[in-house]
Structure 1
Amino acid sequence: MYKNQSNFFHSINQFTRHFSKSLNEVLVPLGLYSAQWTIIYLLNTNGPSTQKDLSLYLGVEAPTMTRTLARLEKAGWISKLSGTDKREKKIFLTDLAHKQYEVWLEAVQACESNVLNNISEEERDLMQKIIERMNNNL
């Protein structure tokens, strides 16, 4: 067993908390939180989705996803439409969210660039591969 295994995972946990906080610092003035951004990013990248699929992909419990989606809907960033199964609704970004998306993306990318300062492309690629492999082990 890797002797610093607990420190390794503690570092990952600390990084994600600090990164989320940094992301909130740039997004909150734009009317959004980092947890909401992840949903908006997915909907923009992958297209409409169900609440269940979003929850599964992001590893978020259903009640938390319900609250986050309700806030996004109240803000006018998403809308829900019934699909073929009336019990399951597709979640879409609204025109308002599409218009605001580039502003959010620019803020997020500036935050990401700060975090990636002094980290080479090779190191980023290696880290991405490691994260993907770890995710596959979950």
Structure 2
Amino acid sequence: MDASEAMRVNRALNKMSKLYRAAKARKLAALGLHPGQDVLLWVLAQEREGMTVSQLAARLGVEQPTATRSLARLEAGGWFRRQPVATDRRQVRIVVTDTGHKLVPAIERAWAELADEVMGEVSAEQREIVLGALEQANDRLRALVGETVLAEE
């Protein structure tokens, strides 16, 4: 790839990343969430029995202190509760409340709306080409940074 094409790729990916995050932030603000909190709550909601902070951090591909800080920011919403782990008094299990479970469909709708808005009127064939290229690029980036866990959507 020559320098001008490399610049075009870098510029497009950087701009897309920033714009997507800003658009997502606007959609999530209507739900009382910030980017990242949607994924955290969605992942937690998939486990009816909840999960420990260390399990959540591993699932998200983040360090445990990062998961702890994110949970602290979310706690005021009443979307989850902490339960002691009977077999290990040092740990707590994070369990999504009914209020949190009711928010999950709205999160999924926000994701779907944003995906529709971003992809616009492209044909199904074009969409598959774009998604395939993006997925391949993500795989290569994961290999470059050594990430094996999918942390988002």
Give, in angstroms, the shift of residue 96 of structure 1: 0.6
Distance 1:68 1:77 in 2: 13
Alignment root-mean-square deviation, CA: 2.8
The aligned counterpart of 1:29 is 30
Change (3 A) 1:20 1:105: same
The residue type paired with residue 24 of structure 1 is: A
For 2:132, the equivalent position in structure 1 comes to: 125
Contact 2:80–2:95, Cα closer than 8 Å, also in 1: yes
Separation (CA, whole Å) in 2 of partners of 1:122 and 1:24: 26
Matched, 1:98 2:101: yes
Map of 1:134 onto structure 2: 141
Structure 2 residue ranges without an equivalent (≥5): 146-153
| Equivalent residue number for residue 40 of structure 1 | 41
Q: Distance in 1 between matches of 2:39 and 2:99?
A: 17
Q: Could you list the per-position Cα deviations for residues 33-78 of structure 1 after superposition, in whole angstroms to 9, with x for gaps in the alignment? A: 1221120122234563332343345454555433321122211012
Tell me what 2:13 maps to: 12
Calculate the TM-score normalised by the size of structure 1: 0.77
| Structure (1/2) with the larger helix percentage | 1
Relative contact order higher in (CA < 8 Å, ≥ 6 apart): 2
Specify the alignment match of 1:52 in structure 2: 54
Q: Displacement, 1:9? A: 4.8
In the TM superposition, what is the alpha-carbon distance from 1:28 to its structure 2 partner?
0.8
The TM-score, its normalising length taken from structure 2, stands at: 0.71
CA distance in 1, matches of 2:133, 2:82: 38
Gaps of 5+ in 1: none
Pair 1:42–1:132, CA change in 2 (3 A): farther
SS at structure 1 position matched to 2:90: coil
Quote the sequence identity (%): 27
Counterpart of 2:15 in structure 1: which amino acid? Q
Residue aligned with 1:88, SS: strand
Total equivalences in the alignment: 138
| Equivalent of residue 88 in structure 2, options 85, 88, 99 | 85
1:108 is paired with a residue whose SS is helix
The AA in structure 2 aligned to 1:25 is R
- 1:32 aligned partner, one-letter code: L
Secondary structure of the structure 2 residue equivalent to 1:31: coil
Write the letter of the residue equivalent to 1:131.
Answer: N
